[in-house]
Amino acid sequence: MEKKADIKMITASLFLAILLVGVINTNSLAGLGGLTEFLRESGQDGISEYEAEFADHFWIKNDLINLNGTITKTLNMHILYSNMGIYVTKDNYIVSAYPSTSTDYEYEQTVALNAFLSKHNVNLLYVNQPVKYIDDSLMEREFSLKSYGNQNADTFLSRIREAGVQAVDLRENIVSENLNSFALFYRTDHHWTVPTGLWASGIIAGSMNQRFGYHIDMELLNPAKFTAREWKDSWLGEQGRKIAQTYVGLDSFVELKPSYPTDYTFKESDGSTKKGTFDAFINEAVYNTSRNVYENGIWHYSYSALDCINNNVKKGKVLLLGDSYAMVTEPFLSLGVREIDFLDIRYVSDDFSLCDYIIDRNYDTVLICYAQFMIGAHDDPNSANFRMFDFV
């Protein structure tokens, strides 16, 4: 086994050496791109553990990635990383393209879940969380590429609304408030910002009041009731670290906390509970500006969606079915309801029954808060989001 490991390490070393020599001798961007892509993808499928270990400890790994980013930016190349689904707009935002889908599976599952919940007097609200662009033609204008993410959402939302499912489309709020959709997101990451999470939570809470008779105090979600801390040009997102900070720069980060007193009981996975405040939703250790941006954590995940009871509110028991956007929406929504739990269907067992789960825990409202690109994910069995609409 040791000999085999040595051979693997030597092979990986030779591969990197050949690429590096090729770059030096030919001044080849393609050669450098091959090297940096190998380094970026270290530890992922298709690369052995020995190759990954070597790449992770390659002494100038980040320098080469940054060099590649500098060259790419200098040459004004916006589609070099299309094989990773990454495109860089003229305004330096990372975006992706989305294939067309029938929306049939998503429609059938959502309508069936709504019918089941209606029989048990449980409210259902579907919330469409947008991507950075709300007009698909952007991809065609900038990259001569067809994208169907917004068209898919239009079709799906129209169908479920016609079938009687209550739905909020946050794109409509972007238009009515004359907002820049790109400014709601990080440039180097596909997630929306913390202030956007608070904004979305206010819209969702208002809709719950209007549609389901809740009495959420909307002042609890007033941005003026929060204290903010900002870190300028502090971190690099999931997508940005694949193509170099020298290409797309760094993202700033804003942390928000309520300026009024909070009192929570947090429910642990082992059935125990612990007391705390809103601060428990946030891991401020992530805000480390001394570490290399490629090795630091993803700052979006400094917030967590935690199952909790708000001891300052008397009514409302909500299940939020969501994705990683919920890290910065569920904590804010928790400020307005008595109890809220979070569930990501991607990570439940094969024998899990969502319907039983909802009835057993006596929820009065289910929120489905999904990023727009979840629509159509079921078309691809290899997609990490394949199971997101497995409701019934």
> pLDDT tens for residues 156-180?
999 999 999 999 999 999 999 999 9
What pLDDT is stored for residue 72 in this prediction?
66
Strand partners, 235: 251
For the four alpha carbons of 384, 385, 391 and 392, in that order, the dihedral sign comes to: negative
Residue 335, pLDDT above cutoff 80: yes
- In 10 A of CB 183, how many CB atoms? 13
Supply 261's token pair.
């007193």
CA atoms within 13 A on the CB side of 38: 27
Digit-coded pLDDT (tens) for 34-84: 445 545 554 444 445 544 454 455 545 666 666 666 666 666 666 666 677
Give the CA diameter of the chain.
Answer: 71
CA distances from 222 to 125, 205, 227 (A): 22, 11, 11
What pLDDT is stored for residue 63 in this prediction?
67
CB 153 within 8 A of CB 375: yes
Q: Which helix (H) or strand (E) holds 128?
A: strand 123-129
What pLDDT is stored for residue 247 in this prediction?
82
Mean pLDDT of 272-300: 94
What pLDDT is stored for residue 292 in this prediction?
87
Q: DSSP letters along 48-79, please?
A: -HHHHHHHHT-TTHHHHHHHHHHHHHHTT-SS
Cα(147)–Cα(343) distance, integer angstroms:
29
CB burial string 47-62: b at 16+ within 10 A, e below = beebbbbbbeebeebb
271: left (phi over 0), alpha (psi -120 to 50) or beta: left
Vertex 123: Cα angle to 275 and 200 (nearest 5): 65
Q: Which helix (H) or strand (E) holds 310?
A: strand 308-310
CB 245 within 8 A of CB 94: no
Residues in the chain: 392
- In 10 A of CB 246, how many CB atoms? 16
Strand partners, 94: 88
Cα(193)–Cα(329) distance, integer angstroms:
10
E strand residue ranges, 177-312 = 226-235, 251-258, 264-267, 273-276, 308-310
Cα(188)–Cα(251) distance, integer angstroms:
7
Cα(234)–Cα(245) distance, integer angstroms:
11
pLDDT band at 10 (very low <50, low <70, confident <90, very high): very low
What pLDDT is stored for residue 12 in this prediction?
46
Cα(301)–Cα(297) distance, integer angstroms:
8
Cα(11)–Cα(5) distance, integer angstroms:
10
Cβ-proximal residues to 197 (8 Å cutoff; 6+ apart), any chain: 303, 325, 327, 328, 329, 331, 332
Q: Which amino acid is at 263?
A: D
Digit-coded pLDDT (tens) for 348-392: 999 999 999 999 999 999 999 999 999 999 999 999 999 999 999
Residue 4, pLDDT above cutoff 50: no
Q: What is the mean pLDDT of the chain?
A: 87
What pLDDT is stored for residue 47 in this prediction?
45
Cα(366)–Cα(124) distance, integer angstroms:
5
Residue 273: strand, helix, or coil: strand
